[in-house]
Structure 1
């Protein structure tokens, strides 16, 4: 755990040091709902989908989050006797966490969160019906969020998840540009392994 925790903190602190002159006293946002477009690469296969997130703070240093993503791809193949085999593969992932801000000073917040992880994979076919499976496990996330200016916020994090026979780390960097105090647009990138990565574009409403 120390290895990947230190990795996430190092990423965020390195970013903070390069933009320290642009810092303000604005606190990072932990109260929002967002949705957006997801592009995921699995080995040599690219699929598209959607992503959605919710975050709500409570008390002085606590917050809850829910992060959901789903991606799908359609396949078509000609079988014998001129039969066309059509299938749609879908994969969905959900994290539901409770978090704690263990460092929260000015425009920088370091946090840790943990909770539920759920993954579902389904294949839908015209010929053989639908089949799939889902697994439930846990995840733990550590990150740093910095509001460099009133308009720019950056989050760097690393998440460990253990679901079924899947045990991996997800390293993410995401930035938000605030159009005003309530609306932002974002761009992010996550590396799950050498065979899986995600790129996502989001729009968020903050309160």
Structure 2
């Protein structure tokens, strides 16, 4: 009874967290630390996990940084050699969250040049969009990862619990369709909404000079 008896139902307190005001201008911070390389962090506000646009934002982050054929890696690591490593990801939080770009710069590249190069890639997506084949590639990767994750009972249980927490337990069965429904127009639209200077927060993490 102690270990396997029923758990009494209880009232779960409602969270009433204050909503962050809309950001109207860029925020910046520069710090110097004993780190091996300069690091650039760029964060942009995006909707919450239950928002219909979440899936476009998630796929947009994959287009930017999922794999060595991704836009940021191809352009800024392989071609321009400005970064040694760069990635993008969404927080996926229940409350309104962030899409974050994080990259370590090569020693010969300044933080200003690195940031400008990132903006060039982001503005290109806003201006010209992406190819259908690019979007389909990240959708295929999502589907593969999703099916593999459902092979274990633990992952199934975690997905069910999170879907229930979001208020739609059937999301476990329908979420793949929501990802498949994302269009190239939706990707370009959310890129225009997110990748604005006034919607950004930038952290320049500067490596201290090496002293003898």
**TM bin (shorter chain):** under 0.3
Provide TM-score, normalisation by structure 1: 0.26
Provide TM-score, normalisation by structure 2: 0.25
Per chain length, whose mean CA-contact separation is higher, i.e. which structure has more relative contact order (CA < 8 Å, sep 6+)?
Answer: 2
**Higher helix fraction: Structure 1 or Structure 2?**
2
